[in-house]
Amino acid sequence: MKHYLIGLAALLTQFVAVAQNKKQPNIILLFSDDAGYADFGFHGSKVMITPNLDKLAKEGVTFTEGYVSDPTCGPSRAGLLTGKYQQRFGFEENNVPGYMSKNSAQLGDEMGVPVEEKFMGDYMKKLGYSTAYFGKWHVGGADKYHPLRRGFDEFYGFRGGARSYFPYKKDPQEHLNKLERNYVGFKEHAGYLTDKLGEDAVDFIERNKKNPFFALVAFNAVHTPMDATNADLAKFPTLEGKRKTVAAMTLALDRACGKIMDKLKELGLDDNTIIVFTNDNGGPSDKNASVNTPLSGSKSNHLEGGIRVPFLMKWPKKIKKSTQFNQPVSTLDLIPTFYAAGGGDVADLKDLDGVNILPYAKGKVDASPHEKLFWKKDVRAALRKGDWKLLRFPDRPAELYNIKEDIAEHNNLATKYPEKVKEMYKDIFEWESTLERPRWLLKRKFENYDIDRMDIYR
């Protein structure tokens, strides 16, 4: 009898262990906006104060070659949220003149991801997750594109592309920038928006601590307008102007991320929660004084400074601390990754361009998850293939770089390796033949406008 009981106890322990192991992890995606590649302590910044995100980097894997699918807000988010190159459904442009809202230089109601496309929220709901979206949306302002129609149970944020961090005293000219709880529950917050988004995410976590949850916290920090609190500004006495403000905004971003991470620890959820931190496009150094060194370029162009972003992942149960993965990964990979982590079968996701990067994050595979990664806007395009990167321009010959040896893209090797240029040009053409036409073309008034300059409307 005693042996039987011991045997039963051992069996039960094993069962509990298996059950716990199979327990779906919670998933939190912390997503910043327009942050500079170099503007975090974990990327070597001596100016920015980001202790919480630095800690996140120490507790998991840093993807040193993390990419987005576009160097501007809207298309990058369309790629992230569908797991597909957004050009496949024509979401190629950011804010197209003629389609923008009458009152502001931002996307209008109709520039949205087609309703037939499945979203990250839809995939996670299918696996039984409670889902919530916080912050900036920017993938469709009309009701038909609303987050609550795209697999998110809850929404607290704004549908547009940029808004004040402080509450509007009267309705803003741009209705898409009003702060909205769920559907049309418009009410301005008190205080500073970055803090408020963090607090709301914490509230969602508390309410869902007993079931698996997925929260996408899309901070508008550190996108313009350059709003910061006096208390945060005071932490950077040696800085001036926009640089001082962006540092204060980044400090608030880090503080909000820290509050979310602290809450997970407090509730004992930390161990089985995946946290990813990344950013939607490179820093626009002119607009918010962000810094992308050692990368060249900035938001809106296809140099690494536009498309390579900070990219961290932590999952204490599965991913080793303080590790690095030095091959290209993409925000397109996050749907398959989260889906696999949540117990889904990635074989269900046949039509996506991303791959499950968990095996790479765990250090089990050294190879590159992507043979090729593409970028395209109008005539401009880029391809990363192995260590090579080709940039195609409308007004000058293509440039070729060995990214591993020349991260700053200073040494153009196109004339030295013409065959490589030819091969990669052909790869881009082949990929382009699989895409839809851009959905929003310049309207008549702008038809003589230099198309390559369009990104000033970002």
Residues of this chain that interact with Ca ion (CB under 5 A) are: 33-34, 73, 280-281
Residue whose C-alpha is closest to residue 144's, from 96, 186, 112, 108: 112
How far apart are the C-alpha atoms of 158 and 420, rounded to whole Å?
45
CB of 132 or CB of 221, closer to Ca ion: 221
Running DSSP on this structure, what letter comes out for residue 382?
E
The residue written with tokens 């972003």 in the block is: 309
Structure tokens at 203: 């509230």
How far apart are the C-alpha atoms of 268 and 198, rounded to whole Å?
19
Q: How far is the CB of 453 from Ca ion (least distance, A)?
A: 19
* Closest residue to bound Ca ion by CB: 73
CB of 69 or CB of 281, closer to Ca ion: 281
Q: How far is the CB of 249 from Ca ion (least distance, A)?
A: 13
Going from the C-alpha of 28 to that of each of 157, 187, 280, the distances in angstroms are 16, 25, 16
Instruction: Kindly report the backbone phi and psi dihedral angles of residue 243, in degrees, each rounded to the nearest multiple of 5, phi listed first.
Output: -65, -40
CB of 24 or CB of 220, closer to Ca ion: 220
Q: How far is the CB of 159 from Ca ion (least distance, A)?
A: 15
Structure tokens at 103: 């009152």
Q: How far is the CB of 70 from Ca ion (least distance, A)?
A: 10
CB of 74 or CB of 369, closer to Ca ion: 74
CB of 283 or CB of 342, closer to Ca ion: 283
CB of 95 or CB of 131, closer to Ca ion: 95
Secondary structure of residue 63 in the 3-state scheme: strand
Q: How many helices (H) and strands (E) does the chain have?
A: 12, 17
Are the CB atoms for 24 and 208 separated by under 8 Å?
A: no
First to last CA, the chain: 74
CB of 34 or CB of 232, closer to Ca ion: 34
Q: How far is the CB of 169 from Ca ion (least distance, A)?
A: 26
Are the CB atoms for 51 and 258 separated by under 8 Å?
A: yes
Task: Name residues whose C-beta falls within 8 Å of residue 289's C-beta, 6 or more positions apart in sequence.
Answer: 241, 242, 243, 245, 246
Q: How far is the CB of 223 from Ca ion (least distance, A)?
A: 6
Residue whose C-alpha is closest to residue 48's, from 224, 290, 257: 290
Structure tokens at 363: 């250090």
Q: How far is the CB of 31 from Ca ion (least distance, A)?
A: 10
Half-sphere exposure of 263 (CA within 13 A, CB side): 21
CB of 245 or CB of 281, closer to Ca ion: 281
Secondary structure of residue 7 in the 3-state scheme: helix
Q: How far is the CB of 56 from Ca ion (least distance, A)?
A: 20
Q: How far is the CB of 222 from Ca ion (least distance, A)?
A: 9
Q: How far is the CB of 300 from Ca ion (least distance, A)?
A: 10
Q: Which amino acid is at 57?
A: A
Task: Name residues whose C-beta falls within 8 Å of residue 373's C-beta, 6 or more positions apart in sequence.
Answer: 67, 328, 330, 383, 384
CB of 57 or CB of 80, closer to Ca ion: 80
CB of 375 or CB of 388, closer to Ca ion: 375
* Cα radius of gyration rounded to whole Å, the chain: 22
Are the CB atoms for 409 and 297 separated by under 8 Å?
A: yes
